[in-house]
Structure formats: C-alpha cells, structure tokens
Amino acid sequence: MNLSIKMSDIKPSSTLAITAKAKQMKADGIDIVGFGAGEPDFDTPEHIKQAAIDAIESGFTKYTPATGILELKKAICNKLKRDNGLTYEPSQIVVSNGAKHSLTNTFMAILRPGDEVMIPAPFWLSYPQMVKMADGIPVIVKASKENDYKVTVDQLEAKVTTKTKAILINSPSNPTGMVYSKEELSSIAEFAVKHDLFIISDEIYEKLLYDGKEHISITSFGDEVIKRTIIINGVSKSYSMTGWRIGYAAAPLEIAKIMGNMQSHASSNPNAIAQKAALAAIAGPQECVGQMLVHFEDRRNYMVERLSKVKDISFVRPSGAFYVFIDISKLLGKTYKDQPLSDAKEFARVLLEDKSVAVIPCADFGFADHIRLSYAISKENIKKGLDRLEEFINAI
C-alpha cells in the first residue's frame, strides 16, 4: 500500500529514543548515567500535584473547551503581563498537549506549501521536522561557535528569499544554553519586520536563566513585532511537568483561531486534570521555580568547571536552559579500544556501550561533531557520569 510521502520522510525524535533507551537500561538494572533527557529530575511540586488530585476528586474529568479552560487562559494572560509586560486576551491563547503540540499547530496554521522557515542552527531537533509536516521548507542558518552559536542578522540576510515566511527564535536555547541579548533580539526583530516575516519565539526555557540574567521576549520590541509573533511556552521545564503535557501559544487572534479550529478536530482539549495542575503552576506560588533553579545553576557551575579540564573538547559556557553543547571534533577520526569514532553518533554509541553514559549526538541538531549533555540530573549522577566521560576521553 502507498503511504503518505510527506510523513514517510519524517525522522523519529532521537532525544526521545535515547532517553527511553537510557530509562530502559536503568530499569534492567544497569548503572547508567543519562545525560540525554531534557527533563528535570525533580518531582512535580506538591501544590501542583494536589491541584490535580482535587480536580479528579471533584469530578473535573470531562471535556473542556478545545483550546483550554478560561481560568487557565486568564492565568496565562496574567503571567504574560506579570513576567513579560505583555497584554494578551484569553482568546489569543491556545493551550495544547505540550509546547511541542503548540509548535506543530503554529506551523500548520501559518504555512503554505513551499513557504520557508529560517531555523538558526544549532536547533532543537524537532523544528525542521515540524516545518516539513506542515508542508514548509526548513532553511537552516548555521551560527558559529565564535559567535556563541547565535545567528547574526548578516547570516539571516544571506539566506532570506521571497519565499521566507517565518523565523524561529529559541532563547534560552536547546541545545546550547545560549541567551540572545536585548540588542541581538532587537536586530532580529527589525530583520523580521523589514522582510515581513512571522516570528516563532520558543520561550520554554524562560525561567532557566543563570548569573542573574533576565528573560527578554522578542515581543518586547513593540506592536509591529507582537502582531507577527507567536510565543510558545509551557510548564514542562519550569515546573518539572514534562509528563503532564501542557504547553501554550500566545498569538495574534487570527492565528489563535485557526489553531483552535484545528485542535477542535485533531485532539480536542488538552487533559482536563493537567490543565488544573498547570493553573496551579502558573497562578500559584512561584518559589518552587527558584528552588529548582538554585540546583540547576549549581550543577551548571560544576559541569563547566569539570568539563573545562577535559582534554580535546570545548564548549561555550551556557547561561540558560540545562544543557552543555560540546565540540568533540578533535576526538573524531580517532579510536577507542580499536573502535573508530567516525562521528558524534558513533562516539555516543561506544560511550553508552562501554561506560553506560548516555549523551545526545547532535547531527539532528545541525552539528554532527558536537554532543549535548543535559544537567537535569542529580549532582551525584553528574559527578559519576563526568568521571566516566573523562576516563573514556582519556583513553581515546
């Protein structure tokens, strides 16, 4: 039987596959250290879990409006005001099954066949696949390590065409942990306005910023920017709620309407109980976010200190999210116990097999000679994993 040509071309998510493999190895009794998952190791905070329990016990277990309950949308508007100084109406908010779903909805709502979407590399691996699923063409704009893996407007100008429809910005970034400065964001916003592009601003790591940095949303540069921007956010990373699957988009009304219509047929409402939990997360006490951040920053500092002493690797110190993006190009083409390390994928495979350490090879993130380590795991495990990684690299 013939199957969908478009969908047959879609690659599976290697981050999810590696994370699942590491979890399975652990369940099988292997003493594995998983630097793979972009998933906080903390339990979901108590008051959030309690809100879900209360929802179940009070019978809040039925369909809700397809784009989410009004209470939650209002809370998201309040959050956008409180944290970002932005004014949105509940009708502009679409709550979905995770930010991943919000992003897929966004591309489907704005793209026509053949429209190009500029994606700065390194990028989170799902973006190009999502664009392809929505009949668009991902146009990768490669940033340089010298510019802290951030794209410049000159690089964007070199790739813009009459078919360019949108640009994606993810700050703080997965996989680099880099954060665009106010000036950099402002010039990208200016570029988008000049070429009449949509901006998809993935702000899911907004709360995970170190060294006292504050989050800047690209929407802060005025109405011309707001009217062409779709903000993507969610509760997975900030509140350690990856499995609850709640994300949202804040968009111009026309786009929010299309997304809501699509969702009303494709998935209906996101889980009602999880919406109540997300409401407690967004509208409730925020101390839990700061408490987790203290641990992430401490782990970041430890990672940076240890990794800077490992031979033949290099990286740019991350100031957000929970990843270190490591250049291993000097180690490639060499061997480990007679096994050739031809690329980052082989490096990750041999490391996993020989040392039981899972890392993400980054060809799918646009950099085939880099790996990503997540420090969303306990410090004890980080220490153990880095000891093993160091032994591994010393033996190459």
- List residues near ligand GLU by CB under 6 A: 13, 15-16, 37-39, 124, 126, 174
Report what 247 binds from ligand GLU, ligand PMP, none; CB cut-off 5-8 Å by kind: ligand PMP
Which residue has the CB atom at the shortest distance from ligand PMP? 98
Rounded to a whole number of angstroms, the distance between the first and last alpha carbons of the chain is 48
Residue whose beta carbon is closest to ligand GLU: 38
CA distance to 6, 59, 177, 234, per residue, from 248 (Å): 26, 24, 22, 6
Given the complex with ligand PMP, which of 95 and 192 has the nearer CB atom? 95
Phi, psi of 179 (to 5 degrees): -130, 125
- In this structure, are strands 370-374 and 323-327 parallel, antiparallel, or unpaired? antiparallel
Closest CB to ligand GLU among residues 234, 260: 234
d(CA 185, CA 189): 6
Nearer to ligand PMP, 193 or 293 (CB): 293
Q: Pick left, alpha or beta for residue 149 (phi over 0 → left; psi -120 to 50 → alpha; otherwise beta).
A: left
Q: How far is the CB of 11 from ligand GLU (least distance, A)?
A: 12
Question: Is residue 172 classed as helix, strand or coil in its secondary structure?
Answer: coil
Per the structure block, which two tokens stand in for 306? 């240890």
Stretch that binds ligand PMP, among 85-93, 94-102, 135-143, 306-314 (CB under 6 A): 94-102
Nearer to ligand GLU, 283 or 363 (CB): 363
Q: Give the residue among 23, 96, 79 at the shortest CA–CA distance from 260.
A: 96
Tell me whether residue 94 or residue 358 sits nearer to ligand GLU (CB atom). 358
The residues, ordered by sequence, that sit 6+ positions from 184 with a Cβ below 8 Å of its Cβ are 150
Q: How far is the CB of 263 from ligand PMP (least distance, A)?
A: 15
Give the distance, in angstroms, between the CA of residue 85 and the centroid of all CA atoms in the same chain: 23
Query: Of the two residues 13 and 91, which places its CB atom closer to ligand GLU in the complex?
Result: 13
> At closest approach, how far in Å is the CB of 211 from ligand PMP?
20
Q: Per CB under 6 A, which region of 54-62, 98-106, 114-122, 257-265 contacts ligand PMP?
A: 98-106
Is residue 296 within 8 Å of 376, Cβ to Cβ?
Answer: yes
Exactly one of 105, 236, 263, 319 binds ligand PMP (CB under 6 A); that residue is 236
- Residues that bind ligand PMP in the complex, under the rule CB under 6 A: 38, 98-100, 124, 170, 174, 202, 204, 234, 236, 242, 247
